[in-house]
């Protein structure tokens, strides 16, 4: 009953702030509206990018509804998330915080998390690596960088309506199911509060994209995902220490492929945005065809997000079956990675052709222009 109350209050609080943000955007839009100029942008209408405020409200109200014992871990996570949240929020309002500064803020959040909770990545079941991770300082640094990597990965997939928040809801639901199976009520409570807050935001973001997560939202939920991924096996040694890698395999793969792609492209660098993320390619090909098939071209953006949610569904389902065995976890990670690569290669070949045909038909007046929101 306690967890149900926390979930509902987190959802209602988040939804209330999300609706209020949208209704009052004429007063703050000059600061909060997303800049829709950029190769990676898939929307055209000015939209508030401060959904992180809705998440913050849900986190705070939902957390207060937990009992004293169950609150402890949650508030430690919230305190540790503050540097990443503030760096993202300042960027959302000013657009002047450098990528390096935001990365350092995420690393700092990771360090605070380790020091407050005592949870670190101390093993990965690999000879040599486990010896290095047994060194406290090395483990602290490795964990902080791993946390910052997940924070950045969630920000990368935040490109079409509902994708980042929907992916996070699915992954947190998987973590919650595993926590319930091993009777870890503190992790379960933390996951349910985070899921409730995310759903409140999701209702405004999907399918029409009236509010965006922004950097504050993406960094904060990325941090919560990373922290749970570290804490859950640390608190329950019967689990594989790599369940987090499996649960987060989709955003990790998206980040890894993006870095490799940009390094291989002449004149580019790993941090340079582009329109070659898998969700961007899906948006220009499969989502376009599916939206037209149902007679709703304006839902193309949301359709891309819906299609991509199959990836976290796959990884979370595999985690529920494999969380006790590192061997099974590695096999499952390979399955998710192979699935991603096969889909990417197929869609990457299809997207340019579909995009060309769309442009040609638009010139002939066959496809009306629609307002796209990401």
pLDDT tens per residue, range 58-89: 999 999 999 877 789 999 999 999 999 999 99
112-133 pLDDT per residue, tens: 999 999 999 999 988 889 999 9
Q: What is the pTM of this model?
A: 0.90
Whether residue 169 has pLDDT greater than 50: yes
Both tokens of 69, joined, read 């014992």
- pLDDT given at position 285: 82
| CA separation for the pair 232, 368 (Å, rounded) | 49
- pLDDT given at position 2: 81
Whether residue 160 has pLDDT greater than 50: yes
Query: In the predicted model, what is the mean pLDDT of the chain?
Result: 89
Poorest-pLDDT segment among 48-57, 166-175, 268-277: 268-277
293-315 pLDDT per residue, tens: 888 888 899 999 999 999 999 99
Q: How confident is the model at residue 353 (pLDDT cuts 50, 70, 90)?
A: very low
- pLDDT given at position 363: 41
Q: Please list, in sequence order, all residues whose beta carbon lies within 8 angstroms of the beta carbon of residue 245, skipping any fewer than 6 positions away.
A: 229, 252, 329, 333
State what percent of residues in the chain have pLDDT above 70: 88
Helix/strand/coil (H/E/C) assignment for every residue in the chain: CHHHHHHHHHHHHHHHHHHHHHHCHHHHHHHHECCCCCCCCCCCCCCECCHHHHHHHHHHHHHHCCCHHHHHHHHHHHHHHHHHHHHHHHHHHHCCCCHHHHHHHHHHHHHHHHHHHCCCCCCCCCCCHHHHHCCHHHHHHHHHHHHHHHHHHHHHCCCCCCHHHHHHHHHHHHHHHHHHHCCCHHHHHHHHHHHHHHHHHHHHHCCCCCCCCHHHHHHHHHHHHHHHHHHHHHHCCCCCCCHHHHHCHHHHHHHHHHHHHHHHCCCCCCCCCCCCCHHHHHHHCHHHHHHHHCCCHHHHHHHHHHHHCHHHHHHHHHHHHHCCCHHHHHHHHHHHHHHHHHHHHHHHHHHHHHHHHHHHHHHCCCCCCCCCCC
Whether residue 44 has pLDDT greater than 60: no
- pLDDT given at position 367: 40
Q: How confident is the model at residue 272 (pLDDT cuts 50, 70, 90)?
A: low
Whether residue 38 has pLDDT greater than 60: no
Q: How confident is the model at residue 41 (pLDDT cuts 50, 70, 90)?
A: low
- pLDDT given at position 356: 46
Q: What is the mean pLDDT of residues 138-163?
A: 96
Q: Is 366 exposed, middle or buried (0-12, 13-18, 19+ CB in 10 A)?
A: exposed
């Amino acid at each position: 009953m306690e967890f149900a109350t926390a979930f509902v209050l987190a959802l209602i609080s988040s939804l209330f702030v999300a609706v209020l943000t949208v209704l009052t955007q004429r007063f703050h839009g000059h600061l909060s509206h997303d800049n829709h100029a950029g190769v990676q942008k898939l929307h055209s209408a000015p939209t508030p990018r401060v959904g992180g405020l809705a998440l913050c409200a849900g986190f705070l109200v939902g957390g207060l509804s937990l009992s004293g014992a169950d609150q402890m871990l949650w508030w430690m996570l919230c305190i540790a998330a503050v540097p990443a949240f503030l760096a993202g929020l300042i960027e959302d309002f000013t657009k002047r915080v450098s990528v390096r500064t935001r990365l350092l803020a995420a690393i700092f959040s990771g360090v605070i998390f380790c020091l407050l909770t005592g949870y670190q990545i101390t093993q990965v079941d690999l000879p040599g690596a486990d010896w290095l991770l047994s060194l406290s300082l090395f483990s602290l640094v490795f964990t902080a960088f791993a946390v910052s990597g997940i924070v950045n990965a969630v920000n990368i997939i935040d490109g079409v309506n509902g994708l980042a928040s929907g992916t996070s809801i699915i992954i947190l639901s998987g973590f919650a199911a595993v926590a319930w199976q091993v009777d870890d009520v503190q992790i379960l409570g933390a996951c349910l509060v985070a899921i409730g807050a995310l759903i409140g935001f999701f209702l405004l973001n999907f399918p029409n994209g009236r509010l965006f997560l922004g950097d504050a939202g993406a960094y904060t939920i990325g941090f919560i995902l990373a922290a749970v991924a570290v804490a859950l096996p640390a608190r329950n040694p019967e689990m594989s220490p790599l369940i987090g890698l499996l649960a987060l395999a989709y955003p990790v793969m998206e980040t890894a492929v993006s870095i490799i792609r940009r390094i291989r492209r002449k004149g580019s660098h790993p941090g340079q945005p582009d329109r070659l993320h898998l969700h961007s390619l899906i948006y220009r090909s499969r989502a376009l065809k599916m939206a037209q098939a149902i007679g709703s071209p304006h839902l193309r953006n949301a359709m891309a997000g819906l299609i991509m949610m199959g990836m976290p569904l796959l990884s979370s389902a595999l985690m529920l079956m494999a969380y006790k065995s590192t061997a099974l976890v590695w096999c499952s990670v390979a399955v998710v990675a192979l699935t991603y690569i096969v889909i990417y290669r197929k869609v990457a070949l299809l997207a340019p052709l579909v995009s060309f045909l769309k442009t040609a038909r638009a010139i002939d007046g066959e496809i009306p222009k629609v307002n796209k929101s990401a």
